[in-house]
């Protein structure tokens, strides 16, 4: 009777069997794959066993569908299909228990015994199935083929089957609740979903009890193995690390490239028939050429996308070296190094670390600096050179989640490290890769060292500039105090007159107190009051000027006419005492420029005081002319005097700090240099026209605000 199994005539074509074979085979392949990944792990073996029995059930059902005779179908069902079906639940239960044990090792559990008991029960049912009609009593005849008919004892099997299924689900739920690791919890959730769905396939048995349904058991099983496959790829379930094999996608991608040419060729066949041999040959060559050009342009992109590209490492290195010479700054440099390694070797990650002094003291890093050698985690146990530093190296790789560490050493100094993760396609790093990395790291070390020096210089320049600004601020203040000194003489002069008035009136009052009538008394006192107020105003002005700090940060729109007027009100009287007048010429109402009021005031004061000194040097009296004008973009401020003028030889030195022709104690030689730096700070310019003996005009140009 067994012969009929091997006789081809016992079978016929039945399309219903196809999905059962396909899913059955797929399940088997998944089981074998998972088993091969880690043969020593019980949990992997248990899962593989589950896959094996499920595939027996599904492929067996395929054979039952294909059977032409009842006898053949019955043989397949009893010996093969039910060998699968009966052992499904014990196997999956075994899987759930072994997974639990792998996750929580050392836990005492009686579930092992239950596993054995259930396998024994399974054997009992199988024995019953083979030897008794009570388990399978015959076959149902359906439109799609045969289906095993349940005997009276079958219901006991169903009860056991579902009981065990519930125990298995409870195991997964227990794992989910007990586990703290989020990834494992997610795996457990997926397993609960996967096996709950898979068991829907078992509802086929309802066919025996009057529920007529079309057999679709392969669908839930397919969903289940897909979920498990996903868990393996996404969450390293059962400690399996795998990259989705991209070969299929790569072949497909290339086919898409070739397809258009195939289509063109196919549809031009009939047209080709009419061609002479020569024209056909030309046509074919043209098509081939177009194909080659097209393929050369796009194929590398597909290779790159699927990480299959074999690079010309030499070309990449020479391009890399060319590029990094021009890069300034550690940031850009690191980015370039990272990109080059990523594009070429496809590591999952590339980290570049620049070492600081403290880090350099760690033993592994000291070793790296001394030995100057790339370390690959896979060689730690085999390479005798690494023996003494083994533990530190392992610790380093664990903590940085990397597998390759590339020291960047120059001289004896460890500048930094490059850490590489695993390759995205899980291939190992090859000798060629290390050769490439070695050249890359030498070049990188030089470039990084240069960059560090460069950044250091930049930092120093920044610090020095800050210091200079500070010194300049101090100088500005010094110059101001110096001009206060100059002013003091004038101020004394100014105060002298009101003081004389006060004194005279006070003395007069004292001398003739009794003779004065009320009106005369009032007049004198009013004179004293007025003179005192004048003094107060003068002193106040001087104090404000000397003490006002340089509020450099306050940059606003300043009206230059206002500035000129303020200086005029302040210096006017003083200059008047020395027979010098200030004439302001301005046609417009406003001359707005961006800057700082104090600073502009200081510039105008300096220029006016210099003009005054120049006039006094040659004349008894004179005029300082301040004129303002503007066009669309600029404001022009001229300060003109008819004083001594400046000797030709002195003109180039005039803006130099500490250049002065004034007597010791009278000039510091800072006024013009500070004025120039203030004007240039606000994007303006200052220059002069002078003729010895005739006079000088200083011109300030400032951008018109707004
Ligand atoms: P200081 O006034 O303290 O000497 P400055 O930098 O303001 O410093 O001026 C430098 C020198 O430029 C002056 O000593 C003077 O010789 C010359 N100078 C400046 N302005 C004039 C001017 N309007 N006419 C002639 N000489 C001038």
Domain residue ranges in the chain: 2-242, 244-306, 310-455, 552-706
Q: Is the CB of 672 under 6 A from ligand 1?
A: yes
Give the CA angle between residues 566, 492, 495 to the nearest 5°. Answer: 75
Nearest atom in ligand 1 to 643's CA: 24
- Cβ neighbours of residue 375 closer than 8 Å, sequence gap 6 or more: 368, 386, 393, 404, 405
Q: How far apart are CA 99 and CA 43, in angstroms?
A: 5
Q: Is the CB of 626 under 6 A from ligand 1?
A: no
* CB of 103 closer than 8 Å to CB of 175: yes
Residue 553 has pLDDT above 60, yes or no: no
- Cβ neighbours of residue 319 closer than 8 Å, sequence gap 6 or more: none
Confidence of residue 418 (pLDDT cuts 50, 70, 90): very high
pTM over cut 0.85: no
Q: What is the structure's pLDDT at 156?
A: 94
At the fourth CATH level, which superfamily is domain 2-242?
Rhodopsin 7-helix transmembrane proteins (1.20.1070.10)
Angle between the N-to-C axes of helices 431-511 and 560-577, in degrees from 0 to 180, rounded to the nearest 10: 40
Q: Determine the distance separating the centroid of ligand 1 and the alpha carbon of 475, expressed in angstroms.
A: 17
How many C-beta atoms surround the C-beta of residue 89 within 10 A? 26
Q: Is the CB of 486 under 6 A from ligand 1?
A: no
Q: How far apart are CA 418 and CA 420, in angstroms?
A: 7
Q: Which residues pair with 581 in a beta bridge?
A: 623
Residue 307 falls in which region: left (phi positive, over 0), alpha (psi -120 to 50) or beta: left
Confidence of residue 21 (pLDDT cuts 50, 70, 90): very high
Give the CA angle between residues 37, 345, 333 to the nearest 5°. Answer: 140
**Does this chain's domain 310-455 share its CATH topology with 552-706?**
no
| Secondary element (H or E) of residue 278 | helix 277-305
Closest among 390, 395, 433, 406 to 350, alpha carbons compared: 406
Q: Is the CB of 479 under 6 A from ligand 1?
A: no
Q: How far apart are CA 186 and CA 231, in angstroms?
A: 9
Confidence of residue 490 (pLDDT cuts 50, 70, 90): low
Q: What does pLDDT average to over the chain?
A: 85
Q: Is the CB of 671 under 6 A from ligand 1?
A: yes
| pLDDT tens string 86-130 | 999 999 999 999 998 888 887 777 888 999 999 999 999 999 999
Q: Determine the distance separating the centroid of ligand 1 and the alpha carbon of 694, expressed in angstroms.
A: 15
Q: Determine the distance separating the centroid of ligand 1 and the alpha carbon of 661, expressed in angstroms.
A: 7
Residue 341 has pLDDT above 80, yes or no: yes
Nearest CA to ligand 1 atom 1: 669
Helix (H, G, I), strand (E, B) or coil at 400: helix
Q: What is the structure's pLDDT at 79?
A: 93
* CB of 234 closer than 8 Å to CB of 207: no
Q: What is the structure's pLDDT at 598?
A: 84
Q: What is the structure's pLDDT at 496?
A: 73
* Pocket probe mutation, ligand 1, options 485, 640, 654, max atoms within 8 Å of Cβ: 654
Give the position of tokens 């009890």: 209
Q: Is the CB of 655 under 6 A from ligand 1?
A: no
Q: How far apart are CA 112 and CA 97, in angstroms?
A: 7
Q: What is the structure's pLDDT at 456?
A: 78
Q: Determine the distance separating the centroid of ligand 1 and the alpha carbon of 464, expressed in angstroms.
A: 29
Residue 476 has pLDDT above 90, yes or no: no
Confidence of residue 310 (pLDDT cuts 50, 70, 90): low
Token pair in block for residue 465: 């500039």
Nearest CA to ligand 1 atom 12: 654
Q: How far apart are CA 130 and CA 64, in angstroms?
A: 16
Q: What is the structure's pLDDT at 548?
A: 53
Q: What is the structure's pLDDT at 546?
A: 59
Q: Is the CB of 667 under 6 A from ligand 1?
A: yes
Closest among 77, 79, 80, 206 to 145, alpha carbons compared: 77
Q: What is the structure's pLDDT at 131?
A: 92
Nearest CA to ligand 1 atom 14: 660
Closest among 607, 660, 661, 618 to 642, alpha carbons compared: 618
* CB of 580 closer than 8 Å to CB of 615: yes
Q: How far apart are CA 33 and CA 39, in angstroms?
A: 10
Pick the CATH number of 310-455 from 3.30.1380.10, 3.30.230.10, 1.10.340.30, 3.30.450.40: 3.30.450.40
**Arithmetic mean of pLDDT, 605-619:** 92
Question: What is the topology classification, in CATH, of domain 552-706?
Answer: Heat Shock Protein 90 (3.30.565)
Confidence of residue 592 (pLDDT cuts 50, 70, 90): very high
Residue 570 has pLDDT above 60, yes or no: yes
Sign of CA dihedral 439, 441, 444, 445: negative
| pLDDT tens string 382-409 | 888 888 888 889 888 988 889 999 999 8
Confidence of residue 685 (pLDDT cuts 50, 70, 90): very high
Confidence of residue 309 (pLDDT cuts 50, 70, 90): low
Q: Is the CB of 608 under 6 A from ligand 1?
A: no
Nearest atom in ligand 1 to 674's CA: 6
Q: Is the CB of 483 under 6 A from ligand 1?
A: no
């Amino acid at each position: 009777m067994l012969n009929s199994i091997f006789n081809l005539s016992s079978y016929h074509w039945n399309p219903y069997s196809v999905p059962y074979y396909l899913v059955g085979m797929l399940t088997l392949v998944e089981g074998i794959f998972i088993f091969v990944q880690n043969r020593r792990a019980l949990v992997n073996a248990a899962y593989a066993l589950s896959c094996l029995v499920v595939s027996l059930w599904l492929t067996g059902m395929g054979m039952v569908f294909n059977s032409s005779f009842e006898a053949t179908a019955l043989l397949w069902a009893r010996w093969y299909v039910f060998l699968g079906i009966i052992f499904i639940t014990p196997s999956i239960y075994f899987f759930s228990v072994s997974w639990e044990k792998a996750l929580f090792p050392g836990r005492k559990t009686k579930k092992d015994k239950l596993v054995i008991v259930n396998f024994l029960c399974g054997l009992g049912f199988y024995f019953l199935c083979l030897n008794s009609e009570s388990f399978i009593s015959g076959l149902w005849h359906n439109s799609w083929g045969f289906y095993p008919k349940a005997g009276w004892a079958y219901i006991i099997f169903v009860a056991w089957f579902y009981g065990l299924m519930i125990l298995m689900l409870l195991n997964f739920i227990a794992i989910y609740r007990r586990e703290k690791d989020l990834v494992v919890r997610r795996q457990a959730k997926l397993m609960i979903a996967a096996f709950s769905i898979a068991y829907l396939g078992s509802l086929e048995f309802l066919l025996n009890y009057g529920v007529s349904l079309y057999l679709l058991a392969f669908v839930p099983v397919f969903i289940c193995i897909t979920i498990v496959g996903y868990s393996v790829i996404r969450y390293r379930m059962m400690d399996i690390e795998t990259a989705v094999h991209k070969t299929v996608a790569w072949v497909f991608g290339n086919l898409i490239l070739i397809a258009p040419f195939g289509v063109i060729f196919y549809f031009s066949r009939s047209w080709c028939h009419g061609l002479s041999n020569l024209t056909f040959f030309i046509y074919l060559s043209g098509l081939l050429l177009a194909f080659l050009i097209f393929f050369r342009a796009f194929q590398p992109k597909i290779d790159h996308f699927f990480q299959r590209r074999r690079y010309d490492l030499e070309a990449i290195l020479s391009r890399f070296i060319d590029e990094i010479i021009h890069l300034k700054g550690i940031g850009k440099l690191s980015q370039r190094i990272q990109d080059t390694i990523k594009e070429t070797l496809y590591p999952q990650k590339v980290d570049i670390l620049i070492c600081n002094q403290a880090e350099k003291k760690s033993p592994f890093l000291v070793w790296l600096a001394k030995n100057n050698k790339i370390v690959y985690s896979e060689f730690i146990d085999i390479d005798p050179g690494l023996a003494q530093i083994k533990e530190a190296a392992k610790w380093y790789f664990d903590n940085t989640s990397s597998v390759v560490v590339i020291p960047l050493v120059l001289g004896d100094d460890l500048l930094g490290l490059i850490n590489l993760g695993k390759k995205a396609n899980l291939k190992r790093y090859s000798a060629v890769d290390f050769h490439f990395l070695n050249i890359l790291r030498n070049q990188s070390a030089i470039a990084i060292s240069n960059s560090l020096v460069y950044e250091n210089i930049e930092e120093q320049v920044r610090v020095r500039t800050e210091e200079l600004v500070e010194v300049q601020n101090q100088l500005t203040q010094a110059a101001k105090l110096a001009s206060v000194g100059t002013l003091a003489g004038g101020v004394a002069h100014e105060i002298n007159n009101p003081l004389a008035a006060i004194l005279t009136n006070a003395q007069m009052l004292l001398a003739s107190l009794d003779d004065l009538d009320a009106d005369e008394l009032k007049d004198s006192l009013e004179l004293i009051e007025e003179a005192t107020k004048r003094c107060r105003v003068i002193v106040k002005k001087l104090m404000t000027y000397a003490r006002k700090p340089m509020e450099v940060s306050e940059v606003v729109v300043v009206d230059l006419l206002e500035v000129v007027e303020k200086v005029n009100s302040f210096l006017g009287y003083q200059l008047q005492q020395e027979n010098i007048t200030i004439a302001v010429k301005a046609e417009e109402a406003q001359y707005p420029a961006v800057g700082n009021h104090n600073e502009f005031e200081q510039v105008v004061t300096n220029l006016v005081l210099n003009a005054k000194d120049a006039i006094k040097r040659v004349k008894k009296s004179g005029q300082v002319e301040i004129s303002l004008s503007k066009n669309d973009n600029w404001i022009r401020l001229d300060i003109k005097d008819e004083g001594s003028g400046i000797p030709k030889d002195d003109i180039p030195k005039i803006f130099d700090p500490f250049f002065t022709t004034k007597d010791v104690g009278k000039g510091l030689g800072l006024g013009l240099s500070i004025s120039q730096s203030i004007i240039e700070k606000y994007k303006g310019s200052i220059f002069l026209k002078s003729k010895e003996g005739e006079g000088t005009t200083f011109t300030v140009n400032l951008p018109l605000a707004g």
